[in-house]
Amino acid sequence: MCDILYNPNSRVISKYQRKLKPTAADTVLDLDVQFVSPHPRNSPPYLRDLIKSIYPAELCARIEKQTESTLAFHALCALILKNYVSSWYGPKIATTDAELMESVYNFLCFIQESSRKAEIDWQHFLLDDVPYLMVLHSEAFYLAMLTNGGYHEFMQMNRNSGLNSGKLTSALLSSLEEGSRLEYFFLLALFQQLILGRLLESALEPAVLLQFTINSTQKVIKILRRRENEKSFLHFILAVFNFLTQLISCLFARPKKGGYAKQDDCRRPVLYSYVFSFIKLSVNLEGRRPLLYACYKYLQWALARNSLLNRSLQKTVFNIFNRTFTNTDNLNSALLGMKGFLFPKDNKLSLKNQNLSQEQINELKVNCEKALRQLSDILKLRLFLGLEDSDIHRLVQYFSTDKRMNAHFVSCMSASLLSRFKESC
């Protein structure tokens, strides 16, 4: 990267920028216009065209060789680079060198390949780690709001909880330490401070999260209502048969090499996962639904005494999580959905300039609570768990108060996931 001007205060940059005169093409580039391709949107040829339009020409041959299962990941990353790197690397920094973009592309290929080979314990992460982090987050949030301490009191409470979330990027970049130290620290600052920092700052705004929750909830409600309208005795029989078939296949499926076979057969039962303690603490299950809580405790006791039943249930749940999160189609659908939300036109990031007034944010909060109440009614959560409007209101308050709190929670989850990744490798 010898051609990159690392000093942003260098006089050479100002001289270079003075030579650049704004043109009509520059004005067009500032507009969020739809990316045009002769192929259907999100098809493999379309994604290849999108990626090649962002990276330098030197990488086109490598992009053509990318398998279809990796295109969604690289398309999302390419759009992020377009908004956070290509917008200044070249136009604002005096260089025509493509080495930086090549290094970033190599790093993204390394991440994609490492994640493909990784064997992550998704069951433990989702049923234990995430609920535990949510409890710590809610407790710190409640105490911070109670003492009017705000974000600083919230961070103090989280530091006391022993959460460490600042090593994600440095751990991922550790494989590049054998190369240039200047390159390593440049990429570290690029990802940790510029891309991840600014992207999280935009994506975790309360207004953005509220709108995302509203849109997602409304989509789920439409799907559930459509299924309700299609209900019939035949549909019910087919659904039960399909569920039993999948359950039996998961029960007798052979675990992936390095998967459940290496797990401790004597590990605690699934019903002892922290997610159930999280539900108990969140909705006061013991007080609102004592009969349901008693049944749950009895099942815990039965699983603890019956090792055969415990191992069968453990294997079934493990295979369900393993199939869900190792399925390439599920992963690509999630990545394409994220791309569509962040970049509706596959061009500019749609989350920029989300400057809403407090009145508009309050309106979003009301709509979000309304959508979540509708979803809880359809899922009968009020009947089975005793969910109340105050619980939904409290949930919305957790992620709509301060984007810095949201960023800290996401960072903690990333650090936890990274620890699971290390344990698997």
Phi, psi of 401 (to 5 degrees): -100, -50
pLDDT of residue 366: 93
278, 302: one domain: yes
End-to-end CA distance of the chain: 31
Given a cut of 90, whether residue 142 has pLDDT beyond it is: no
Q: Are 373 and 114 in contact (CB under 8 A)?
A: no
pLDDT of residue 6: 44
106, 147: one domain: no
Q: Which of 15-29, 67-81, 226-240 is most confident?
A: 67-81
Residues comprising the chain, all counted:
425
Given a cut of 60, whether residue 269 has pLDDT beyond it is: yes
How many domains would you assign to the chain? 2
Distance between CA 270 and CA 300 in Å, rounded?
9
Is residue 189 in some structural domain? no
The tens digit of pLDDT for each residue in 160-201 reads 454 444 455 665 566 554 555 666 666 666 666 666 667 777
Q: Are 375 and 177 in contact (CB under 8 A)?
A: no
Q: Are 13 and 38 in contact (CB under 8 A)?
A: no
The tens digit of pLDDT for each residue in 246-265 reads 555 555 555 554 444 444 44
Is residue 377 in some structural domain? yes
Q: In this structure, what token pair is assigned to residue 29?
A: 């580039």
18, 132: one domain: no
Task: Tell me the residue type at 156.
Answer: Q
Confidence of residue 8 (pLDDT cuts 50, 70, 90): very low
Is residue 177 in some structural domain? no
Higher pLDDT, 336 or 421: 336
Identify the DSSP state of 126.
I
pLDDT of residue 242: 64
105, 142: one domain: no
133, 22: one domain: no
Burial (CB count <10 Å: 0-12, 13-18, 19+), residue 159? exposed
400, 368: one domain: yes
Is residue 188 in some structural domain? no
**pTM of the shown model:** 0.73
Containing domain of residue 99, as a range?
A: 11-115
69, 141: one domain: no
Is residue 178 in some structural domain? no
Given a cut of 60, whether residue 25 has pLDDT beyond it is: no
81, 129: one domain: no
324, 211: one domain: yes
Is residue 183 in some structural domain? no
Of 17-31, 50-64, 69-83, 213-227, the range with the lowest mean pLDDT is 17-31
Spacing of C-alpha 253 from chain mean position: 28
- Residue 180: how many CB atoms within 10 A of its CB? 13
Locus of tokens 């990626």: 51
Identify the DSSP state of 115.
H
Is residue 26 in some structural domain? yes
Q: What is the mean pLDDT of residues 203-207?
A: 85
Higher pLDDT, 208 or 149: 208
Q: What is the mean pLDDT of residues 370-390?
A: 89
Given a cut of 90, whether residue 367 has pLDDT beyond it is: yes
32, 91: one domain: yes
Distance between CA 278 and CA 303 in Å, rounded?
20
Q: In this structure, what token pair is assigned to residue 419?
A: 């620890």
Q: Are 297 and 286 in contact (CB under 8 A)?
A: no
39, 139: one domain: no
Q: What is the mean pLDDT of residues 196-215?
A: 82
The tens digit of pLDDT for each residue in 35-94 reads 888 989 989 999 999 999 988 888 888 998 888 888 999 999 888 888 877 766 656 565
Higher pLDDT, 267 or 322: 322
317, 406: one domain: yes
Given 115, 130, 151, which residue is the final one in a domain? 115
Is residue 237 in some structural domain? yes
Identify the DSSP state of 386.
-
Given a cut of 80, whether residue 139 has pLDDT beyond it is: yes
pLDDT of residue 89: 63
Confidence of residue 371 (pLDDT cuts 50, 70, 90): very high
